[in-house]
Structure 1
Amino acid sequence: MRFEFTRRQWLTVVVISIADFCNAICVALQAPFFPHEAELKGCSATEYGLVFGVFELVVFMISPFYGAHLNRLGPKLVFNAGILTTSSCAILFGFLDKVQGHIPFVTLAFTIRIIEAMGNAAFLTASFAIIAKEFPNNVATMFASLETFFGLGLIVGPMLGGALYSWGGYSLPFAVLGFALFCTAILCYVTLPKTSDDEDIKPTGPTMMSLLKIPGVLLAAISIISTSMSIGFLQATLEPHLRQFNFSPVILGLIFIINGGIYALSAPTWGWMCDHPSIKPKYVTALGHLFVTGAFLLVGPAPFIDMPTMLWVTIAGLVLHGLGIGSLLVSSFSDALGTAISSGLPNSIETYGLVSGMWTSTFALGAFIGPTVSGLLFDSIGFRSSTSFIVILHLCVMGVVLLFLCTCDRYKMEVSVSAGDLMQLDGTLDESVLIGDKFITPATRTKRLSYSSRRYGISVEQSRPPAMNSLIACSSFKNRRSPWSQRTPRYRPSYGSLDHRFRASLSVT
């Protein structure tokens, strides 16, 4: 697969990758030392645990809103506002050690964390949508690249934060890393393309409910939830499980970054596979569920495996888990976006925003449920027995994915083309929308090479623009009278603030 990007595209991916890396660092940097600081202020484990958990809960609740209104607000505006909010909250979080009293400390910690989550959700939703629009033919690959930088940030954040904390106290890591993210926010504002969005803003368009009513998209959402649940499960209970080995904090920290490191390194490969025309993303999804199932059979190991807990087996399980979450998170985004467009949603920033918001929201939901469920199971039946929950969950979802591939995913989009759809503005017949052996003569076939998309079963013309490859080709892109053209704006690689025509209509009314 060749990557021939424009200067605009390279600039976009470099800037967003830097922002993703710095954002992940600021989100994760407080994990090693905030609990200790909170205990000095009289907080219980439940209280500072909720400070971490409320972040994911807010992201889950607010992301669909950003996704639904991304076109109206403008992806660049949402992106810049989100990263600026996250950096400001990271700096403010560093002043909590100056707060006296238990109640004021907890109240401010919750308030700052909630606002930070709102900014982080805005940043992630907008960045995914921008990447989807700028790279319509390499969505999975570029999404995976962003996830690689985000994953590296999650690894570096706690390590760098802990080092700065040891050197200069509580406030230093937040001041240094928060200021770095703030500078990144300024860089993004200056360098991201400033072209205003020229897509129509319609009073009614696709909604989150219309997106989730598509079976393939709903299945992708379930895969995301189950994947983030497996991540949260290990984050909450792996350390108590490994206490039997009496590891030092350094060794324990290295073990914790195995699955995240494998995920970050393998994500581009999974992205390349999902973008390959001969590989359906749902095949990659099914493989990912298989990896996660195998991981949780080994990491315990499972109670029905007659062997004690051994370090090398646990590490092998974490490696499998890293491969599994990489394939699942990358393929689910690519699959949800492609399935939504092939099911009739417009190939526009509105759909990109909805899918981005859905991905961010469902991941946060799983990240909130996972630690909660794992803690309850760990206290009641122990780590080895509780891993059966994730094993059964992923086996069930994998079975549904395979069933969908065998039954529901073999259809071809049936779109009727009326005579009115074939008439051009000058009254002549637009034969370019007629695709298939029934409409193309032998002479025309030699001039116009057609092929069938093996991923979604949609016949498209080789000569059509790349961004049209996932559209229903028999609704003419060129025919302005067709229903498709009336409700779907042309693809344009631009994004910005509020549409000028929308603002003009507001001023008139």
Structure 2
Amino acid sequence: KMSRKKLFTVITFCIANFFNGLFYSILAPFFPTEAQKKEISSTQVGLVFGSFELVLIIVSPFYGNYLNKIGAKFMYITGIFVCGVCSILFGIIDKAPNGTPYFVLCLIVRMFEGLGAAAFGTASFAIMAYNFPKHIATMFGTLEMFTGLGLMAGPPIGGALYELGGFASPFATLGSFILVIGLISIFMLSPYRVNDLPRKDSVFKLLKYPVITLTCLCLLAGSCSMGYLDVSLSVHLTKSFHLSPFWVGLVFLVEPLAYSIMSPIWGRIVEYKPKMSLYIISFGYVMAGLSLFFIGPAPFFNIQSNLVLLILCLIFGGLGISTLTITFQIITETTIAKGYPDTLSTYGLISGLVNSFFSLGFFHNFFSHNI
């Protein structure tokens, strides 16, 4: 049973992570077209997208290190407000002059939005772990489920609002909702006060433990593969199977849907069988890796391209990658076992590390696609 305060915390953090997924994906359906009208190149569009994740990579460890000094509640609410304001500001950028001024303004606003997302993402994971130390895997999986739902919902919601109200509509709507969540959180979210950690403790000191380093690399590989097919798969579906844009969009929903459904389930399994963590994540990644071989399929299999096989591979890929939600549990258990105190500050260090590696995978997608 949860207290009302804890129940409110879970609900608001799930909603915030849903919007975090929206921040990442809402630009996809219409921004590249709008950017072309404003005389922005494809490379510059990629930089606008990737700058969001690049900021998360850089600042998440900083937030993790100083969570106890900044204050978990203050960091969370400040991050929420920054995201909300930046979302609204992005909606009026289309009034800027074409070319370089437009590109620079997009880049600045998107980077500040990344600062806000890193703040409330790092704080929310740390607070959830602190409130539910015996259910870390389940809570992390639940937050990831809502992040996955946000990634799924971003393109259709963004496209629909764009058609209804123009360029500003998606960003004004999203920003308004997130500001309301921030206002409610000011009064409802409990304050968290902790003592300062010794200066020798830092996010990157956790990487000296092989299990944590290996787990972070698994996290990086998993987040990288989640969006790696965004460009090539759409071309493959159109040329090989002659699918319309609508059906291509439905196929793209398959993997994140499987990911969202299984994320909290893996968490529950690990809570009952904690010693199975490494075996589960190993099995999941092998399954996800094999599914990539058959999506094409790889030439050395000498198998004809098949839509049913492709969809099954996307399902198994999503199920496999969803095991990355176990990484938070593995890193937490290892960190505590190595003598770190079971405090909010320690969870802040872990959250900053996890957030940074997770964002690095998504940033790799933008970097590789632009190359």
Q: TM-score, normalised by structure 1?
A: 0.70
Q: Which of 29, 33, 37 is the equivalent residue of 1:36?
A: 33
Measured after TM superposition, the shift of residue 201 of structure 1 is: 1.3
- 2:119 partner SS: helix
Q: Does 1:182 align with 2:179?
A: yes
The 3 A distance-change label for structure 1 pair 46 and 278 is closer
Show the 5 A alignment for 1:155-234.
155-194=152-191, 196-197=192-193, 199-234=194-229
2:57–2:355: 8 Å Cα contact kept in structure 1?
yes
Aligned to 2:80: 83
Measured after TM superposition, the shift of residue 203 of structure 1 is: 4.3
Aligned to 1:96: 93
Aligned to 1:125: 122
1:267–1:327: 8 Å Cα contact kept in structure 2?
yes
Measured after TM superposition, the shift of residue 136 of structure 1 is: 0.4
Measured after TM superposition, the shift of residue 5 of structure 1 is: 2.4
- 2:243 partner SS: coil
User: How far, CA to CA, are the matches of 1:8 and 1:365 in structure 2?
Assistant: 33
Measured after TM superposition, the shift of residue 286 of structure 1 is: 0.5
Q: Which of 304, 314, 318 is the equivalent residue of 1:308?
A: 304
User: How far, CA to CA, are the matches of 2:130 and 2:308 in structure 1?
Assistant: 43
Across the aligned residues of Structure 1 and Structure 2, the Cα RMSD in angstroms comes to 1.5
- Provide, for residues 111-146 of structure 1, a one-character-per-residue CA deviation record: whole Å limited to 9, x for no partner: 001100111111111100000000000000011111
Measured after TM superposition, the shift of residue 271 of structure 1 is: 0.7
Aligned to 2:134: 137
Measured after TM superposition, the shift of residue 371 of structure 1 is: 4.2
- Provide, for residues 13-36 of structure 1, a one-character-per-residue CA deviation record: whole Å limited to 9, x for no partner: 112112222332233211100001
Q: Name the amino acid aligned to 1:142.
A: M
Q: Name the amino acid aligned to 2:236.
A: H
User: How far, CA to CA, are the matches of 1:205 and 1:276 in structure 2?
Assistant: 34
1:259–1:321: 8 Å Cα contact kept in structure 2?
yes
Aligned to 1:473: none
- 1:37 partner SS: helix
Q: Does 1:319 align with 2:334?
A: no
User: How far, CA to CA, are the matches of 2:302 and 2:114 in structure 1?
Assistant: 43
Measured after TM superposition, the shift of residue 349 of structure 1 is: 1.4
User: How far, CA to CA, are the matches of 1:103 and 1:374 in structure 2?
Assistant: 22
Structure 2 alignment gaps of length 5 or more: none
Q: Name the amino acid aligned to 1:354.
A: L
Q: Name the amino acid aligned to 1:163.
A: A
Q: Name the amino acid aligned to 1:363.
A: F
Q: Which of 335, 342, 347 is the equivalent residue of 1:347?
A: 342
2:40–2:99: 8 Å Cα contact kept in structure 1?
yes
Q: Name the amino acid aligned to 1:261.
A: L
- Provide, for residues 296-325 of structure 1, a one-character-per-residue CA deviation record: whole Å limited to 9, x for no partner: 022111221111221111111110111011
- Provide, for residues 33-67 of structure 1, a one-character-per-residue CA deviation record: whole Å limited to 9, x for no partner: 00010000011111101110111111111111001
Aligned to 2:66: 69
- Between 133-142 and 317-326, report the one with greater CA deviation: 317-326
Q: Name the amino acid aligned to 1:167.
A: L
1:155–1:260: 8 Å Cα contact kept in structure 2?
yes
User: How far, CA to CA, are the matches of 2:197 and 2:306 in structure 1?
Assistant: 59
Q: Does 1:365 align with 2:360?
A: yes
User: How far, CA to CA, are the matches of 1:303 and 1:106 in structure 2?
Assistant: 41
User: How far, CA to CA, are the matches of 1:307 and 1:372 in structure 2?
Assistant: 31
Q: Which of 236, 240, 248 is the equivalent residue of 2:235?
A: 240
- Provide, for residues 188-228 of structure 1, a one-character-per-residue CA deviation record: whole Å limited to 9, x for no partner: 2221113x51x321442421232111111111111011111
- Provide, for residues 75-120 of structure 1, a one-character-per-residue CA deviation record: whole Å limited to 9, x for no partner: 1111111111111111111111111221110000000011001111
Measured after TM superposition, the shift of residue 155 of structure 1 is: 1.1
2:85–2:175: 8 Å Cα contact kept in structure 1?
yes
Q: Name the amino acid aligned to 1:32.
A: P
Q: How many pairs were matched up?
A: 370
Q: Which of 291, 304, 319 is the equivalent residue of 2:287?
A: 291
User: How far, CA to CA, are the matches of 2:359 and 2:24 in structure 1?
Assistant: 13
Q: Name the amino acid aligned to 2:345.
A: E
Structure 1 alignment gaps of length 5 or more: 377-509
User: How far, CA to CA, are the matches of 1:241 and 1:59 in structure 2?
Assistant: 31
Measured after TM superposition, the shift of residue 375 of structure 1 is: 6.2
Aligned to 1:9: 6
Measured after TM superposition, the shift of residue 235 of structure 1 is: 2.1
The 3 A distance-change label for structure 1 pair 172 and 370 is closer
Structure number with the higher helix fraction is 2
The 3 A distance-change label for structure 1 pair 232 and 375 is farther
1:237–1:374: 8 Å Cα contact kept in structure 2?
no
Which is bigger in relative contact order (C-alpha 8 A, separation at least 6)? 2
User: How far, CA to CA, are the matches of 2:83 and 2:260 in structure 1?
Assistant: 22
- 1:284 partner SS: helix
User: How far, CA to CA, are the matches of 1:372 and 1:30 in structure 2?
Assistant: 17
Measured after TM superposition, the shift of residue 237 of structure 1 is: 2.2
